[in-house]
Every structure is written in structure tokens, then in C-alpha cells.
Amino acid sequence: MITDWHTLNREPSLPGLYARAATRRKITGSTLPCAGLRCWVEVDAKRLAAYRKVCGFTDNGLLPPTYPHILGFALQMQLLTAKDFPFPLLGLIHLSNRIRVLRPMGGVSRARVSVQVQNLQPHAKGATFDLLTSLDDQLGCLWEAESRMLCRGVKLEGEPVEDDCTPTRALSEIERWKAPADIGRQYARVSGDYNPIHLSAASARLFGFPTAIAHGLWNKARTLAALAGHLPIASVEITAQFKKPVRLPSEVTLLASEPGASGDFRLVGAGDLEHMVGHWRPLA
């Protein structure tokens, strides 16, 4: 599919996009738009510092490997609330996330973010698509990611294809941490992601959840912060599958293989409840 790129002069305003998302509750089609959005963005030092604090990253002079998602969030929102996007944003489920850090992300103060959607596929519960995001500087692509999203209720022909990130290496406990009741609100303030299922038990119940749940990308960011000494800083691909949600508040345990060019990890809760599994691999 050839992408029809549109370049914006500034980042979109999130309040208006949330208002648009709140009014769209119906599936309007089964074809993804070919339009993509691009915009140059500034890295705000205070916002970056607040993100590091919420997610547990130390300041090593590099952008955290998950931070470009924050830089691209407003563009993602605009793309997913556009009139030609067929699925309602509220209710989409984040199934997995793959990040590729191509070069060390040090000294990045301004970069171009690009977002698009591709790869509509049947799923046992509906249909999935990939939300693609990339970050470029003056030398080319620094970082890229695929977030696989599920929309329930969509019917497509074909057999579902399931990815598998089941760890194959021996894992040992790395760290335990508590996900406090307000971590969804803390993460929303630094990310812009104010999805009601993460903010409070009352707002989560409106969408069928008994309690608020942690953002999947907070779980991944907190995990990568704990694994900072395990992974390369660049030329690495990091994949995570989101399993059972982390209900708030709760305590989780991170298990991982030995440091190296490749490795596996699991995030589990009480009773070995599996919240997230994943791996890191060197880029080919």
C-alpha cells in the first residue's frame, strides 16, 4: 500500500481529539485509510524528566526506548480519530508492541514523527491492524515501532494469525514493584493518554473493567527501565505481548534472562498471572 503523507505544521491539540473520540462509537467500515501524518516535534526537557520519573528510567543522556511513543501520541490520536478511520478509538485493545532502536538516541532535541496504519487482519475476536510510528532526525530514521491493535466486532474473511513471544530461555527474578492506584493518572499526565480505563475504577467500569488497569506501554517502559543493564542501547528490537491487564493497585514481578544481545522477559502478578511476555533481539 502506498501511503499518502500529510505534513502538519504543529502538533495536534489533544483536547479536541478526545472530544472527537468520545463522539465516535460505531464501526463505519473495514478498510484502512492510506493517509499518514508527519510532523516535526520538539523534545521538552521537563516533560522528558517527568516521564523518566514515572517510568523509572535514569537520565543517561539518551531518550528512553519507549519515549518516541510519547512524541508521536498526538499524531496517533489525530490519525485514529479521522473521519476515514473506520474504527472507534475508545475500545481499541493494545495487543502487542514492537520497538526498533536503530541508532543511539542521544542529543535528540528535535525530530520528525511519522504515523500510519497498515496490515488489517482477521482475529478470533474481530480484526487487528498495525499502528506504525517512526522517529527521524537529520540523518535518517532513529526509531520505529508497530503497535498491534484489536477492534472487536469487525468481521473479515481469512484465518487469524497469532504471534508468539513465549520465552525460551531460563529466566530469573530481576525486580518487583508496585503499580499504585494512581499510576494510570501519573502516566496520563506525562504521556497524554487519558483513556478512561486507566484513570479510576469508576471510569474503568464504564468500559467493562472492574478496576482501573495500568497502561500497557507503562508496563513495557517500567520493564525496560529495570532491564537497562541487560539490553543494548541501539541496533535492537524489543517486542512485548500484553496478556492479562495489571489491575490497580497491584504488585508485579519481572523475570528475565541473562544480559546479552538477545534475551526474554516475563511480567507476572500474584499466582504467576502473566501480564506481559517479550524478548529483545539484535537487528539484522
Please state which of the ranges 149-153, 162-166, 177-181 shows the lowest mean pLDDT.
162-166
- At residue 207, the pLDDT reads 84
Q: What are phi and psi of 12, to 5 degrees?
A: -65, 160
Q: What is the mean pLDDT of residues 231-251?
A: 97
| Residue 159 reports pLDDT greater than 80 | no
The answer, yes or no, to whether residue 69 has pLDDT greater than 90, is: yes
- pLDDT band of residue 281 (cuts 50, 70, 90) is very high
- Of 106, 205, 86, the closest CA to residue 153 belongs to 86
- What mean pLDDT is reported for the chain? 94
Check residue 1 and give its pLDDT.
63
101: which strand partners? 143, 236
**Domains of the chain, residue spans:** 4-282
pTM summary value: 0.95
Q: How confident is the model at residue 284 (pLDDT cuts 50, 70, 90)?
A: confident
pLDDT at residue 93, rounded to an integer = 93
Per the CB < 8 A criterion, the answer to whether 165 and 240 are in contact is yes
Confidence of residue 166 (pLDDT cuts 50, 70, 90): confident
CB burial of residue 46 (10 Å; 0-12, 13-18, 19+): exposed
Of 157, 79, 94, 101, the C-alpha closest to 129 is 94
- Residue that wins the pLDDT comparison between 163 and 64: 64
Which set of grid coordinates corresponds to residue 278?
517479550
pLDDT band at 250 (very low <50, low <70, confident <90, very high): very high
Predicted pLDDT of residue 3: 83
> For residue 164, is pLDDT > 90?
no
Mean pLDDT, rounded, for 177-205: 95
Residue type, 133: T
Q: Which of 93-97, 135-139, 151-155 has the lowest mean pLDDT?
A: 151-155
Q: Domain 4-282 classified CATH 3.40.50.80?
A: no
Report pLDDT digits (tens) over 19-56: 999 888 899 999 999 999 999 999 999 999 999 999 99
- Give the cell for residue 137: 532526525
Is residue 34 a contact partner of residue 4, using CB atoms and an 8 Å limit?
yes
What pLDDT, in 10s, does the model give residues 92-114? 999 999 999 999 999 999 999 99
Strand 4-7 versus strand 35-42 pairing type: parallel
Joined together, the cell numbers standing for residue 245 give 491487564
Helix (H, G, I), strand (E, B) or coil at 47: helix
DSSP conformation class of 117: E
Q: Exposure of 177 by Cβ count < 10 A (0-12 exposed, 13-18 middle, 19+ buried)?
A: middle
